[in-house]
Structures are given as structure tokens and as C-alpha cells.
Structure 1
Amino acid sequence: MPLIVRDATPADVPAIAALYADEVREHVNTYEYDVPDEAEMSLRLQSVIAAGYPYLVAELDGQFAGYAYASSYRARIGYRKTVENSVYVVPGLKGRGIGAALMKALIEACEARGYRQMIAVIGEPTNTASIRLHEKFGFTLVGIFRGIAWKHDRWLDTVQMQRTLGAGTTAPPQDE
């Protein structure tokens, strides 16, 4: 079976939670310390979808391969047309186009919803695979915050990248 990207469902929560748990415990792609359980991950999924953001899952040969979602970049109303993206791929499946398929579908879903900017907050400058993926989709480096997070007994830098969606800043949002 081919690679497919589809909307996430509650049935995906165990696989999403397992992948995210590995990220929390072993890596710095999230600065969360405590692994959220499936109930918490289910609430997060529901919250993202209820707010009108896309939450996607990739399957390769019928098996869970990763997930991606967009969420609010900041809470203030003025940021309502800007989203932050998150993309996670099962470690043993990296380098097979799954991240790219998720990113492409996520960008399309955000543009269809009228969002104008997408921000990537990348766990540190050494995450070159994530940086290259974002560059491939037109993201540009906005800046690097030095030493703003502490995890795994070290200070971490954070990369921020940005990409225009749809009409970008050429016109006011349609809800104005």
C-alpha cells in the first residue's frame, strides 16, 4: 500500500501518544519533560480539531508513520491568521518522504482554512533534517533564540522559521 495522509481520528491516539512519548523522553524536538498519557493526547487532538486547525496522520503500507498538526502561534486575536506547525515521523521511517507528505498536506489544509503565515519552532539548530524539510517547503530562517530552554542537562537553542500561506500579507483576512 502507498503512503497516505489523512485526518487524524481518536483511533490514532495510541500511536500518536507513543511517538510523542519517545520524543519527550529521548529528544529535544519538544521541551516537555513529562510524557502525556493517552487521555491527555486525546484531549490535545480534540482541542486542535475543535479550534479549526488540521491534525493529520501518515500511514505507510497501512501502518502509522507519523503525524502533523497546526495550532495557534500565539493566543492574542491579532495572531489568529498565523499558525505554528508540528511534524513527527516514526524514527525508523525517517528519510522516506513521510515528513514531506505531511508538511505538504498540512500547508494545503492551512491555506484552505485561510491562514496566512506558518511558523516552525524547531528544537535546536542541530536538527538539520527538520530545517531542510522546512526549507524545502519555502520556510526561511527568522532567527535563533540562544539558550532559552533546559532539557537533558543542557541549554538548548531554538530555531524559528516562517513561510507565507495563501495571499500572505497582500490583503486583509476575509473575516475583517
Structure 2
Amino acid sequence: MTKLRTLSESDLPAVTAIYAHYVVASLATFDETPPDLGTWRAKADGIVGAGLPFLVAEVDGEVAGYAYVAPYRPKPAYRHTLEDTIYLSPAFTGRGLGRLLLGELIAQAGRTPARRLVAVIADSGDPASARLHRACGFEEAGRLRGVGFKHGRWIDTLLLQRDLPG
């Protein structure tokens, strides 16, 4: 049984482990060292403390993935723009959980004062994230060429955006 819910403190070890996988084994994030549990705790406190959604997908009692929105940039003029983040446990990809998480994230972000949601996607050759975002109403806004270097490769980022409901 799949359930979407708000992050709880007890979910943080699973969130930490899911993200660590992508840091070490993929180009999906430009982090090169996995953040520790304390770093994730501070990040989650900041997101939730700002009144923004941080969701988990739970399948049969196991955290299968997570999604959150955070401010797009720290400068005040960006205050009405958010950036989404979604990661799924490798054991739970291909089951539609990303679409469930992103759909709910969009709905909840639409209840904030923000008006725009941005996705910054590492273009590593795997089209899954861009395809998911496009299916949820995001449109391409641009590409930054060769802005990341990880695992011996230069990587572009694809910028997508959509209006928030509300």
C-alpha cells in the first residue's frame, strides 16, 4: 500500500540513505559527498519551518522516496519562486511514485505565496526526471551547458518551470 505523507523525524535516516545513493552512484546531483543525518535534519527543519512541503512516499511501511520544495534562490526578489527536489529509492523506481509525489508537491506548493515552481535537472542522459516534470506541466526554460563536473564528465543542467495553482 502506498501512502504520501509529511516527513517525520524518523524518516530522516531513509532520506539520508536514498540521497547518498544518488550522490555516490549517479550524476543526478552535483553533490560529491553525501550529507550526513545532521545536515538533513537542519535542511528539513528549514524547509518545514518556512511553511513549505517536505513529503515522503511510503510503500508497505518503507520510505520509498521523498520530495520537497525550497526557495529557488536566496535573494529577496526570488521569494515567489520555489525549486522542487524528488528522489526515489532505487528499489522503487518505475512505479509511478515520482508522479504521485510531484503532483502532491505542486498542489501543496500552490497553497504557499509562491507563484512559480522551477526544476533544475542534471542532464546526464537519463530522461526520466525531465519526462516526469513535463508530464506534470513543466516547460523547458533553458539549458546551462557544462556547468557541472562529476565522475569525469561535464554535465548540463536543464531548467524547467511551471506556474503554481492557486
C-alpha distance in structure 2 between counterparts of 1:165 and 1:120, whole Å: 13
Q: How does 1:21-170 map to 2 (within 5 A)?
A: 21-124=20-123, 126-167=125-166
Partner SS, residue 52 of structure 1? coil
CA RMSD of aligned residues (A): 1.0
C-alpha distance in structure 2 between counterparts of 1:81 and 1:20, whole Å: 27
CA drift of 1:127 comes to 2.7
Aligned amino acid, residue 58 of structure 1: A
CA drift of 1:29 comes to 1.3
Q: Which runs of 5+ in 1 are unaligned?
A: 168-176
C-alpha distance in structure 1 between counterparts of 2:66 and 2:163, whole Å: 22
- Percentage identity across aligned positions? 38
Contact 1:125 1:159 in 2 (8 A): no
CA drift of 1:143 comes to 1.2
Would you identify which runs of 4 or more consecutive aligned residues in structure 1 move more than 4 Å?
Answer: none
Q: Which runs of 5+ in 2 are unaligned?
A: none
Q: How many residues align?
A: 166
C-alpha distance in structure 1 between counterparts of 2:29 and 2:121, whole Å: 8
CA drift of 1:21 comes to 0.6
CA drift of 1:92 comes to 1.7
Partner SS, residue 131 of structure 2? helix
C-alpha distance in structure 1 between counterparts of 2:4 and 2:48, whole Å: 16
